[in-house]
Amino acid sequence: MKIKVRTLAAAGACASALALSIAACGSSAAPAPRVTVTETVAVPGPTVTVTAAPAPSPAPSALSYSGYSNWNGPGFALTGGTVTVTYTYSNNSDSNFIADLDANDQGDSQSIANTIGTSGSATTTLYPTEPAGSMYHLSITAQGNWTVKIAQSN
């Protein structure tokens, strides 16, 4: 906000009368009195942009992994809510195919699959117990090829 100060000279009959009364008292003529008027005027100011710290990246709504043999995947945050997992495996030499969704440094371990066979596929729904934002990772035990797709709902 900008403040303007204006100084105006008194004019008209009041100024003349004041000047005459001062002269009549034997004083030398003084300059006309000044009146100060303060006017508040809103003027555009600088544009201020406030940038908040970026929010953590939301967990992807769908993740897809594929590979061969045993694997421990990278951590990712779950959004809370249910998790739907679809998996396939093949060329597994009639061995165990085990897939788990494990909470990093937590006690929650969600079993996706624990089956024996050369190949197979299924879809399952998981109900993780850790709060939204908790980190999980996919753990696979297999002898052959596999694919796992993880979809999160809020």
Task: Give the domains, in start order, of the chain with CATH numbers.
Answer: 2-41 (no CATH), 62-152 (2.60.120.380)
pTM, to two decimals: 0.60
Q: What is the pLDDT of residue 50?
A: 53
- Per-residue model confidence (pLDDT) at position 117: 93
- pLDDT tens string for the chain (154 positions)? 444 444 444 444 444 443 434 444 444 555 555 655 556 556 565 655 555 555 544 444 689 999 999 999 999 999 888 999 999 999 999 899 999 999 987 789 999 999 999 999 999 999 999 888 899 999 999 999 999 999 998 6
3-state secondary structure 16-83: HHHHHHHHHCCCCCCCCCEEEEEEEECCCCCCCCCCCCCCCCCCCCEEEEEEECCEECCCEECCCCCE
Sign of CA dihedral 47, 52, 53, 59: negative
